[in-house]
């Protein structure tokens, strides 16, 4: 079972398959915003929506900590823009 965990101390959300780390989404803190700079999922697990869940996990936690989310990572930009279109 895939589990997504937020690791605020390391500025990332991480996907695990049991104990194996299979993906991460990394952000950089910049004043009142978090800039997502990298999203990656192990090739054996791609196509399952894990990268989207990693980005969404950061967005959810940014709301919790009252931070704005931006993205240099092209994949994260797409997820953020799609979420804007949904609202």
Handedness of CA 64, 68, 74, 80 (dihedral sign): positive
- Summarised one tens digit per residue, pLDDT across range 37-86 is 999 999 999 999 999 999 999 999 999 999 999 999 999 999 999 877 77
Are 36 and 55 within 8 A, CB to CB?
yes
The whole model's pTM is what?
Answer: 0.94
Q: Quote the pLDDT of residue 70.
A: 97
């Amino acid at each position: 079972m895939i589990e997504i965990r937020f690791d605020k101390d390391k500025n990332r959300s991480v996907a695990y398959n049991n104990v194996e780390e299979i993906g991460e989404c990394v952000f950089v803190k910049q004043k009142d915003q978090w800039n997502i700079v990298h999203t990656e999922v192990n090739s054996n697990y791609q196509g399952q929506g894990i990268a989207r869940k990693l980005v969404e996990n950061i967005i959810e936690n940014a709301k919790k900590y009252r931070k704005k989310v931006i993205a240099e990572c092209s994949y994260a930009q797409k997820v953020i823009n799609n979420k804007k279109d949904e609202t």
